[in-house]
Structure 1
Amino acid sequence: MTRSVLAALLAGFTMTGTSDAAGTDGPSFEILPFEALDGWSEDDHGAALSVFLETCRDLDEPDWRSLCAVAQDTDDARDFFELFFRPVLIGDPEDALFTGYFEPELNGSLYPSPRYRYPVHRMPPEAQDTRPWLSRREILTTNVLEGRDLEIAWVDDPVELFFLQIQGSGRIRLPDGTSIRVGYGGANGHPYRSVGQELVRRGTFDLHEVSAGTIRSWVRGNPDDGTELLYHNPSYVFFREVSQVPAHKGPLGAMNRSVTPLRSVAVDPEYVPLGAPVWLEKDGAEPMRRLMVAQDTGSAIKGAQRADIFFGTGDEAGRLAGQLKDPGRMVVLLPIQRAYALLPESIL
């Protein structure tokens, strides 16, 4: 189908407007022209389309299914997004915040030993049925998980295991040089609480000083107080083995598909539909203007203007992700009729 034919079919959907659908304390909605997206014309839309195709086949709604079918046959990615979507800026009382996450690599073993003595657990059945279940402190200071064959592997560093739980997935390098992959398998139902913010509250660090690296160093340098600090976060994440995911692919996100470095983001699904394209305008020391796809979630990712950018696997990805804490704005690309349905009839 040519661009001119598609444009004619869509000619009735050219309105713009804003809506404060939830009142002054809730999100607002504003439909923007693509020309208002800073850097839109310079992006690699084909790369974004490839990532969109990774998960769009899993979307159930008829409009998304139709767009996914069209996307598989399109010969111009930019035309596809501009013709079938409208950019929706979802306003939030909270300031926009972009952070990063990655797939860590830990040293471990399939068997416990004096070196490898910190277990990576599967989720016990009772934790699925009771919400919330035991807290992090209660799990780690009792033997509630011992002797139940819930261990996937054992690792050599409890601090890295804590950060593995924050990331939600990772690779465990075994002594023979092979590795296994683990993905998110559930949680104990307690809310996530930031240990970095707790260090700031205590006056240990200023806000601009806090990063994953500084937290690691402080916990290791203060073993007793460090253990207590990690208990401040009552959330405890369980895992499942996902070694069937090819080594060259990213870890599985919330849609049970591999995420892609610098093209996949974790969002709050209360505001942003999983599988939707999102345009990120990240400011800060290294600005980023890029079309990505909402393919993951996170316990700390809450709000309409909150996103976590996936940086890849390994230490360098972890370094880049750990230092990211930038402002900007995120614009969600929604199917045209879905976008205009957010606006009140008075605007339409």
Structure 2
Amino acid sequence: MKKLLSLAALAMLAGCTTSNEPSSSVSLTPVGFDALAGWDREDFASLLPVLRQECHRLTQLPPETPLGGAETLPYGRQVGDWSGACAGLESAADAKSYLQTWFQPYEIDTKAFYTGYFEPQIEASLTREGPYQTPLYGRPADLVRAKATNGQMVTGRWENGQFKPYYDRAQIDGGALAGRGLEIAWLKSPVDLFFLQIQGSGRLILPDGSQIRAGYDGKNGQPYVPLGRVLVQDNELAPSAVSMESIRAWLEAHPDRMMAMMERNPNYVFFRKDTGSLAQGATGAFGVPLTAGRSVAIDRSIVPFATPLWVETKLPDAKGQPAPWQHLVFAQDIGTDIKGAGRADLFTGWGAFAQYVAGNLHENGRMVILLPRPPADSPTP
């Protein structure tokens, strides 16, 4: 999940920046498609459905709607900048030719860094019973956004006419929201909840074997503190050993310290029951279902939503070895800890292997952003 954007449009683009947020800049170098390592080996047939899904989403928004992106980008920061590319897509039969006609590659002049995220599968119950004692909360009605005196939008709650920060993780764990009927499900472990909140959405496996999706529905506005960083600072984990698996293992091995450690991250995420198809990923901040291996979370102050990105990096293979990975992905989501030029979080899907790849993906690489061309500048394929 800017400028002159109505509240309705803001709701349509969850996570949009506002006109009061500082703009960013990024250094770019135009390159040709022949400079993209592995471009000719891409599976172009799989790209047209993703591109058409994006253009369908873009046609639902007013042309002046900001998509984000650094102020130094030459094009592609507003929905209207996609008009030519989306019109050209209607008759496109070959994704490679289409992309080379309607997009211009620009290399981001900084080393890229890639991580991964996935959709966890978590045992849960719709009622509080047996081992299911950890509440999964829906968004509270008193969680609101307001404009501060400096013009920035802040998240909090009103109390006796005063705007205050919303309850932090420790307060919520201590019962600040109990008894308000906000529980949409019950989980077996607070560690499951913690990692579900990091991922932002997940699949709840109910006792009868059926599944429902818990989708992101806001956060408390408190700062996000990466637990891996805290464990390194406390000399509990070596920097080279930090992964989702090692953090979970530490928490489960220290039940007496588990809650206090997790509460050092005051950020708290709320959920809703998502009725979207389980055959696809959860809906990302751009408003389209995420596609495994094709969707990434980006910093919207640098990269606009919908933008294709050519990625050259390495992913862990089934044997745990980093293997070259060169593919086109799409900016369809955002993440609390995804900040800066060349930074992206790859959606790996769901299931055990998706979790393994996401948990072990920490690789540098190269990033090339493909910006749509103005209609008058589009060459003949």
Q: Normalising by structure 1, what TM-score?
A: 0.85
> Does residue 152 of structure 1 match 2:189?
no
Instruction: Name 1:62's counterpart in structure 2.
Output: 80
Instruction: Name 1:13's counterpart in structure 2.
Output: none
The answer on whether the counterparts of 1:255 and 1:274 sit within 8 Å (CA) in structure 2 is yes
Structure 1 segments of 4+ aligned residues over 6 angstroms from their partners: none
Task: Give the alignment partner of residue 304 of structure 2, picking from 262, 273, 286.
Answer: 273
CA–CA separation in structure 1 for the residues paired with 2:223 and 2:255:
24
Amino acid at match of 2:32: P
**Residue 165 of structure 1: CA displacement?**
0.4
SS at match of 1:216: helix
Instruction: Name 2:281's counterpart in structure 1.
Output: 250
Task: Give the alignment partner of residue 131 of structure 2, picking from 105, 115, 130.
Answer: 115
> Does residue 263 of structure 1 match 2:263?
no
The answer on whether the counterparts of 1:48 and 1:292 sit within 8 Å (CA) in structure 2 is no
**Residue 247 of structure 1: CA displacement?**
2.0
The answer on whether the counterparts of 2:167 and 2:176 sit within 8 Å (CA) in structure 1 is no
CA–CA separation in structure 2 for the residues paired with 1:270 and 1:56:
21
**RMSD after superposition:** 1.9
Task: Give the alignment partner of residue 296 of structure 1, picking from 330, 333, 340.
Answer: 333
Amino acid at match of 1:299: T
Aligned pairs (5 A) from 1:67-216: 67-92=85-110, 95-129=111-145, 130-131=155-156, 132-141=165-174, 143-216=175-248
Amino acid at match of 1:98: Y
Instruction: Name 2:67's counterpart in structure 1.
Output: none
- Aligned pair in 2 of structure 1 residues 91, 228: CA closer, same or farther (>3 Å)? farther
**Residue 216 of structure 1: CA displacement?**
0.7
CA–CA separation in structure 1 for the residues paired with 2:362 and 2:246:
14
Task: Give the alignment partner of residue 315 of structure 1, picking from 342, 347, 352.
Answer: 352
SS at match of 2:186: strand
Amino acid at match of 1:217: A
The answer on whether the counterparts of 2:84 and 2:374 sit within 8 Å (CA) in structure 1 is no
Q: Normalising by structure 2, what TM-score?
A: 0.78
CA–CA separation in structure 2 for the residues paired with 1:324 and 1:228:
27
SS at match of 2:266: coil
CA–CA separation in structure 1 for the residues paired with 2:81 and 2:33:
20
Amino acid at match of 2:170: R
Aligned pairs (5 A) from 1:333-344: 333-337=370-374
CA–CA separation in structure 1 for the residues paired with 2:51 and 2:224:
29
Amino acid at match of 1:235: N
Amino acid at match of 1:276: T
**Residue 261 of structure 1: CA displacement?**
0.7
Q: Give the unaligned 5+ runs of structure 1.
A: 1-21, 341-348
Greater Cα offset, 43-52 or 192-201: 43-52
The answer on whether the counterparts of 1:100 and 1:309 sit within 8 Å (CA) in structure 2 is yes
Q: Give the unaligned 5+ runs of structure 2.
A: 1-21, 62-78, 146-154, 157-164, 316-321
Amino acid at match of 2:186: W
Amino acid at match of 1:73: S
CA–CA separation in structure 1 for the residues paired with 2:298 and 2:370:
14
CA–CA separation in structure 1 for the residues paired with 2:57 and 2:29:
27
SS at match of 1:63: helix
CA–CA separation in structure 2 for the residues paired with 1:83 and 1:184:
36
CA–CA separation in structure 2 for the residues paired with 1:115 and 1:287:
43
The answer on whether the counterparts of 2:57 and 2:288 sit within 8 Å (CA) in structure 1 is no
Q: Deviations over 1:159-206 (max 9, x none)?
A: 111010000001111111111111110001122111011111222222
Amino acid at match of 2:305: L
Amino acid at match of 1:218: W
CA–CA separation in structure 1 for the residues paired with 2:25 and 2:276:
39
SS at match of 2:83: helix
The answer on whether the counterparts of 2:296 and 2:333 sit within 8 Å (CA) in structure 1 is yes
Instruction: Name 2:46's counterpart in structure 1.
Output: 47
Instruction: Name 2:319's counterpart in structure 1.
Output: none
Task: Give the alignment partner of residue 250 of structure 2, picking from 212, 218, 222.
Answer: 218
Amino acid at match of 1:110: L
Instruction: Name 2:65's counterpart in structure 1.
Output: none
Amino acid at match of 1:160: D
**Residue 26 of structure 1: CA displacement?**
5.0
SS at match of 1:83: helix
Instruction: Name 2:267's counterpart in structure 1.
Output: 235
**Residue 77 of structure 1: CA displacement?**
0.7
CA–CA separation in structure 2 for the residues paired with 1:256 and 1:116:
31
- Larger proportion of helix: 1
CA–CA separation in structure 2 for the residues paired with 1:26 and 1:201:
31
Task: Give the alignment partner of residue 361 of structure 2, picking from 320, 324, 344.
Answer: 324
CA–CA separation in structure 2 for the residues paired with 1:52 and 1:161:
33
